[in-house]
Structure 1
Amino acid sequence: MKTKWGSCNTGAGRIWVNLELAKKPPLCLEYIIVYEMVHLLERHHNDNFRQLMDHFMPQWKLYRDELNKSPLAHENWDY
């Protein structure tokens, strides 16, 4: 997965996550899992989707913003 943090197949009930999430804060991984699980309940990014996200993870917008401002992959590991 090179361009997304996660994806969901609603028909099969399967969720995939980008392995790069292992390099992010744990709450970012939790956010993606909740986000994709909510897609199992609501396919579209509509009001119902946002209400479900608010219910299951009230601070989801903070984690979304943190992921959106970070690169998908981290190639340079300075020690």
Structure 2
Amino acid sequence: PMTKQWGSCSAKGNLMLNPHLIKAPKECIDYVILHELCHIAEHNHSEKFWRLLTSVMPHWKEVKARLDGMAELYLNE
């Protein structure tokens, strides 16, 4: 089970989402899904990856900060 992260994307492009994500605001859920979908095109956190994420969610930094603030509460239940 996923306990330390919100989502992941396998080398084959399979997305896994943490079940606790359902407790997060919709915008945060959208961020995690978009983040993982961007990994299908860019397999690491390169500059290209962050540019791609910014193109689909320009305000991702604010949303990620919100999600990071909830991580300790939700990911360790």
TM-score range, shorter chain: 0.7 to 0.9
C-alpha separation in 1, matches of 2:74 and 2:25: 14
CA contact (8 A) 1:15 1:36 kept: yes
Greater per-residue helix proportion = 2
Q: Indicate how the Cα distance of structure 1 residues 32 and 61 shifts in structure 2: closer, same or farther if over 3 A, else same.
A: same
SS at match of 2:43: coil
Structure ID, larger Rg: 1
Which aligned runs of 4 or more in structure 1 are off by greater than 3 angstroms? Answer: none
1:19 and 2:8 matched: no
> Relative contact order (C-alpha < 8 Å, sep 6+): which is higher?
2
Deviation per CA, 1:10-38, whole angstroms, max 9, x where unpaired?
3x221010011111101100000000000
- Unpaired segments of 5 or more residues in structure 2? none
TM-score (norm 2): 0.88
Distance 1:54 1:3 in 2: 24
Residue of structure 2 in register with 1:35 after alignment: 35
When normalised by structure 1's length, the TM-score is 0.86
Kindly tell me the number of residue pairs found equivalent between the two proteins.
74
Deviations 1:21-56 (A, max 9, x none): 111101100000000000000011111011001101
Identity %: 35
Question: What stretches of structure 1 of length at least 5 have no aligned partner?
Answer: none
The alignment partner of 1:73 has SS state of helix
